[in-house]
Amino acid sequence: MNIDHLRLFVRIAQTHNISQAGQELGLSPAVASSHINKLEAGLGVRLIHRTTRKVSLTEEGIAFFPHAEDVIASVEAAQASVGAGKSTPSGTLRVSAPASFGRMHVLPALTDFMARYPEIKVDLKLSDTIVDLVEGGFDIAIRNSRLKDSSLIAKKLANDNRILCASPSYIKKYGLPNAPAALNQHHCITLIGLEDWCFDTPQGPVNIKTKGQFRTDNGEAVRDASVNGIGITIGSKWSVYQHLKSGELVHIMPEFPLISETAIWAVYPSSRLLAPKVRAFIDYFSDYFGDEPYWENE
């Protein structure tokens, strides 16, 4: 299979124009059509519908397109590793991110990222479910949990500092706990499955199995329930920093910090060469968050 034919097909799929795609690659319309004919003949299927007005992908072309992009990205990554080939990152970047973090901190940055890399298209999946990168066809995932799969490579993007929070209305009604054990007399809001909270104390780690009237599977719902006075909760600084600034939430028991090994990670399959588009994403967000992310300064 000719890599130049694949590269042409990818550009046709992106532009829906054989002449334009061919011109970008220095090919006449006749040569571009010939290359696509050879690609289709080699595969034994038609990839493109051609009419006098437009070009569109067949069902087989639609199925073939992401795989062709992956091949091109792998070739470009191999070339970049030895300082050769195209230096401008391009292609479709498939990203998975936690719903809340992605909405609050990834999505706002994509405007500048895509302006900086106009040849990259981003497919962003926002979900709190841990996706299988290889099976799902993702290039990279942002995660805020520890890496358990040894077939993946993780690059730390930022710390995920977590603190104990409550609203002024809750504090006014129930008072402040003065030690971790005092949480047994308070309403605690938890993520389902994360009811055990561990604190660093002068006597060593103290684990508290919390209880309360409300729990949920969504981090923003946990935060908002605390804002509404339902109880005390754990909040990541990236999630609650604006509410701390506005006074809707108060950082409580700072003298007993939570013990947590969480961070924000960029994760990608180790079996793949690091494509330029993936490297561009990692480098951009590493710089964007920096050594001390903006949410830590509020």
**Amino acid letter, residue 97:** A
Question: What is the CATH topology of the domain spanning 3-81?
Answer: Arc Repressor Mutant, subunit A (1.10.10)
Q: pLDDT digits over 212-242, tens only?
A: 999 998 889 999 999 999 999 999 999 999 9
Residue with tokens 């409550």: 166
Q: Which pLDDT band, with edges at 50, 70 and 90, does 272 fall under?
A: low
Q: Which amino acid is at 263?
A: A
Extract the tokens encoding 186: 């308070």
Predicted confidence (pLDDT) per residue in 193-203, tens digit: 889 999 999 99
Name the pLDDT band for 298 (thresholds 50, 70, 90): low
pLDDT for residue 273:
62
Q: What is the mean pLDDT of the chain?
A: 88
Q: Which pLDDT value is given to residue 210?
A: 92
pLDDT band at 55 (very low <50, low <70, confident <90, very high): confident
Other CB atoms within 10 A of residue 129 CB:
9
Helix ranges restricted to H, the chain? 3-15, 18-24, 29-43, 59-81, 99-101, 107-116, 133-136, 168-174, 219-227, 237-246, 276-289
Strand order in the sheet with 215-216: 215-216, 188-191, 232-236, 162-166, 250-252
Q: What is the band of 81 on the pLDDT scale with cuts at 50, 70, 90?
A: low
Distance CA 31, CA 168 (A): 71
pLDDT at 84: 57
DSSP E strand stretches across 144-249: 152-159, 162-166, 188-191, 196-201, 204-209, 215-216, 232-236
Task: Give the number of residues written for the chain.
Answer: 298
Q: How confident is the model at residue 24 (pLDDT cuts 50, 70, 90)?
A: confident
Q: How far apart are CA 15 and CA 12, in angstroms?
A: 5
R_g (Cα) of the chain, nearest Å: 25
Kindly report which listed range (35-44, 80-89, 260-269) carries the lowest average pLDDT score. 80-89
Q: What percent of the chain shows pLDDT beyond 90?
A: 56
Residues 6+ apart with CB under 8 A from 247: 168
Compute φ and ψ for 235, nearest 5 degrees. Answer: -135, 135
Assigned token pair, 46: 């038609």
Per-residue pLDDT at 218: 86
- 174 CB-side CA count, 13 A: 19
Token pair, residue 198, equals: 């561990």
Q: 162-252: same fold as 91-160+262-296?
A: yes
What is the pLDDT averaged over residues 113-136? 87
The domain spans of the chain are: 3-81, 91-160+262-296, 162-252
Looking at residue 52, its pLDDT comes to 62
Of the chain, the percentage scoring pLDDT greater than 70 comes to: 93
pTM of the model: 0.72
pLDDT digits (tens, 9 = 90+) for 174-191: 999 999 999 999 999 998
**Which one, of 186, 98, 94, lies nearest residue 144 by Cα?**
98
Closest by CA to 145, choosing from 269, 296, 261, 285, is 261
Is domain 162-252 annotated with CATH 1.10.1750.10?
no
Q: How confident is the model at residue 77 (pLDDT cuts 50, 70, 90)?
A: confident
Q: Which CATH architecture has domain 91-160+262-296?
A: 3-Layer(aba) Sandwich (3.40)
**pLDDT value of position 82:** 64
Question: What is the residue type of 47?
Answer: L
Query: Is residue 276 a contact partner of residue 87, using CB atoms and an 8 Å limit?
Result: yes
